[in-house]
Structure 1
Amino acid sequence: MIDLKRMRDEPDVVRASQVARGEDPDLVDAALAADSRRRALLTEFEQLRAEQKAMGKDVARASGDEKQALLARTRELAGEVKARQADAEAAEAELTDLMLRIPNVIEGAPPGGEDDFVVLREEGTVRDFAAEGFAPRDHLEIGEALAAIDTERGAKVSGARFYFLTGVGARLELALLNAAVDQATRAGFTPVITPTLVRPEIMQGTGFLGAHAEEVYRLEADDLYLVGTSEVALAGYRSGEILDLADGPQRYAGWSACYRREAGSYGKDTRGIIRVHQFHKVEMFSYCRPEDAAAEHQRLLAWEEEMLARCELPYRVIDTAAGDLGSSAARKFDCEAWLPTQERYLELTSTSSCTTFQARRLNVRERVTVGEKTETRTVATLNGTLGTTRWIVAILENHQQADGSVRVPEGLRPYLGGLEVLEPVTR
């Protein structure tokens, strides 16, 4: 959640962030009012408690009618203290509910909605298939010819938007993810195989149970959630802990299966494996000092671009508009690869700076020295995709050849036993 002190000190900044996101700025005023009520009630409670304690001493010294009167007042005070404590707790609950509904304060993101992103740069060369003398096939047609993707049997076994990756399809996904883990390890990340089921407080702590809760699968019998990204488990990994960041950020690269309900996306990218319910992903996750978050964000983006270059994909980098950010993100950069058959860009990676929003919810802190005192403060968290199943779509379409084969990018060949070309399978 956002910093309550910041909301008190800079309410206009938080209101402006709400407006830029397309959210309700009146939530800020409601939260400030709840905070004022809570503090006033706590003050009353503490005053009554102080009077109650003082009266206990008076009762011990008194006798006769005076003592009886004091005892009567003590009983009356006990009821008032209990009532005021209940009122303060109710105000605290109201404030917490309101604070959980306010998304992170944006930091530099352009205002507007999904279509208001800013293109920062374009990299690579888009192929001219007409000049090469053939029309590009889409990834599913290519994948079926390679015996790499099987959506019919995926639907038979599990329903719509499920699939099998078979043969070179399975090998290609493993090559992508292993290349991502190797790159992350070289950059100093600790590789982690994460749980894909998490407790409600961890899912809520990362901000995934707000406006987009309908995207999350829940196992009601066990009160557990299936993650849509290993970011969730990695954010919870150090929850309730005090970190030592003296030597720089603590970085993890999480490999996990991911699950998304894709609620409300009917009719969008339903062909093939662009928008599916289950996929695999390697996700970078960083805990760092708040003042280092902006620089760390740029580093995560650079590592994503390094991976895209390894796969020889033409792409663009966009600065995502505030209204298209998740509730935890203060800023997000997406890398979108060119998709020849649809003549559009397709998101392959995103990297978000969540500032202290997640860590405050999950109570992740560090020790800092202020003057002669040592105290704790909330850390910042960031995340970024380094490889996922969807990349197969862009690789197949951008590296296809006229005969239906697919050239393997040089950066992935060591992970495919040196294989240079994926050949169609004769059925």
Structure 2
Amino acid sequence: MIEINLLRENPQAIRDSQAARGADVALVDLAVKLAEQKKIALQQFEAMRAKQNAHGKLVAQAPKEEKAELVAQAQEMSSDVKRLEAEANLADQELMVVLHKIENVVLEGVPAGSEENFVVLKEVGNRPEFSFEAKDHVFLGESLDVIDIERGAKVSGSRFYFLKGLGARLELALMQLALDQASEAGFTALITPTLVKPEIMQGTGFLGEHSGEVYYLPADDLYLTGTSEVALAGYHSGEILDDLTTPMRYAGWSTCYRREAGSHGKDTRGILRVHQFNKLEMFSYCKPEDAEAEHAKLLEWQEQMLQKCELPYRIIDVAAGDLGSSAARKYDIEAWVPTQGDYRELTSTSNCTTYQARRLNTRYRDQDGKPAVAATLNGTLATTRWLVAILENHQQADGSVLIPAALRGYLGGVDKIGPKN
């Protein structure tokens, strides 16, 4: 949720942000109007309550013959106070509804526009040049007997799969490598719940225009999470953290679920866009003034993982119109996928400033000991779709796939995956 003081003092900054995102600018004007109505309603309520309190003292001190009339006036004032309080509460509720629809204010320098308006910040690594016709990850996965898409569809439907043998072990190795790196960097490991309450899902900003991506269990009034970011953001909801001199960092390992609504016909082949996958997510709580520096660190840790997996990649500054509602800035790291002749997103990191923490009431004590709203950031360190890039970039002429050196220790020293026969 946006900061109410910013709405009052600089609504144009919020209008500009909404425009850069391609979002509804009129919401800002409505919020300004409702904020003023709330202010007036609150002032009227507080003035009447003060008048009621003063009148109460008169009643207590009045002669017996005057009390009946004063008590009648007190009852009328009490009715007015209740009415004005209800009006103030209603004004606040109406304002909150609109504020929850306004997306986070993008940071200065974020590219305006939609998905295609990203800016490439850098490219790292050499794209492989094959002396043979490169095979895609589906062919490799099936020929090496490490991915079984046909039986995944038989059991669960489209966009499901089995990872098998060294395929399953390779994913676990990737997750363990990421967890070890995160632990060395000071992150606390968490295995998170994958079912969360509506207020947690709403607080993280995932029930906006992309709510169609989320699986909902109406019988339990719970949501399946599409990222452990949701549970990690809710971990300290309603709390006041004692000290954020050093950011509080968590690494959440979970299975993730996404309906992929609206993606019909996109990446239907293979395991690039699926309904269920595993992911290790970094999540940081920090002081707002430290958020940009923390964002740079999350990006650096992601790069280290890509380099350990020996993958060519590029970093893009995501355009405002392609940001999630909670993100004020997001960087994607995209790995080269040879058979597609293009870079595809493997991981992203978002600076959510105080947007999520304000909605979830997560605060910390500043240097004066006063509660202040924290900032939150997130970044994926490993996920199932990395297997796509690993298989394709490290394939060999004989149909085998070399395993990146950093992963071999987690596989008992196995250095490659060979064909079934």
C-alpha contact 2:2 2:105 (8 A) present in aligned 1: yes
CA distance in structure 1 between the partners assigned to 2:244 and 2:357 by the alignment: 18
Structure-1 residue corresponding to 2:75 = 75
C-alpha contact 2:244 2:287 (8 A) present in aligned 1: no
1:51-200 equivalences under 5 Å are 51-63=51-63, 66-107=66-107, 108-129=109-130, 132=131, 134-200=132-198
C-alpha contact 1:163 1:273 (8 A) present in aligned 2: yes
CA distance in structure 2 between the partners assigned to 1:144 and 1:244 by the alignment: 52
C-alpha contact 2:110 2:320 (8 A) present in aligned 1: yes
Task: Return 5+ residue gaps in structure 2 as ranges.
Answer: none
Report how far residue 105 of structure 1 moved.
Answer: 0.5
> What is the one-letter code of the residue matched to 2:97?
D
Match 1:263 to one of 261, 264, 269? 261
Runs of 4+, deviation exceeding 6 Å: none
CA distance in structure 2 between the partners assigned to 1:28 and 1:125 by the alignment: 46
Structure-1 residue corresponding to 2:384 = 389
C-alpha contact 1:245 1:289 (8 A) present in aligned 2: no
Q: Deviations over 1:225-250 (max 9, x none)?
A: 11111111111111122223354111
Structure-2 residue corresponding to 1:10 = 10
CA distance in structure 1 between the partners assigned to 2:244 and 2:341 by the alignment: 47
> What is the one-letter code of the residue matched to 2:364?
E
Report how far residue 211 of structure 1 moved.
Answer: 1.2
| Alpha carbons of structure 1 residues 275 and 358: separation in structure 2 relative to 1, 3 Å | same
C-alpha contact 1:245 1:288 (8 A) present in aligned 2: no
Structure-1 residue corresponding to 2:316 = 318
Q: Give the TM-score, by structure 1 length.
A: 0.96
Percent of aligned pairs sharing the same letter: 62
Q: Deviations over 1:265-308 (max 9, x none)?
A: 00000111010000000000111111111111011001000000
CA distance in structure 1 between the partners assigned to 2:329 and 2:227 by the alignment: 18
CA-based RMSD of the aligned residues comes to 1.2
CA distance in structure 2 between the partners assigned to 1:29 and 1:247 by the alignment: 37
C-alpha contact 1:14 1:28 (8 A) present in aligned 2: yes
Report how far residue 63 of structure 1 moved.
Answer: 4.8
Structure-2 residue corresponding to 1:423 = 418
C-alpha contact 1:37 1:91 (8 A) present in aligned 2: yes
C-alpha contact 2:244 2:364 (8 A) present in aligned 1: no
Task: Return 5+ residue gaps in structure 1 as ranges.
Answer: none
C-alpha contact 2:177 2:407 (8 A) present in aligned 1: yes
C-alpha contact 2:282 2:381 (8 A) present in aligned 1: yes
Q: Deviations over 1:355-374 (max 9, x none)?
A: 1111111111111134xxx3
Moved more, 343-352 or 357-366: 357-366
CA distance in structure 2 between the partners assigned to 1:251 and 1:56 by the alignment: 53
**2:121 alignment partner, SS class:** strand
Aligned length: 420
CA distance in structure 1 between the partners assigned to 2:243 and 2:325 by the alignment: 26
Structure-2 residue corresponding to 1:34 = 34
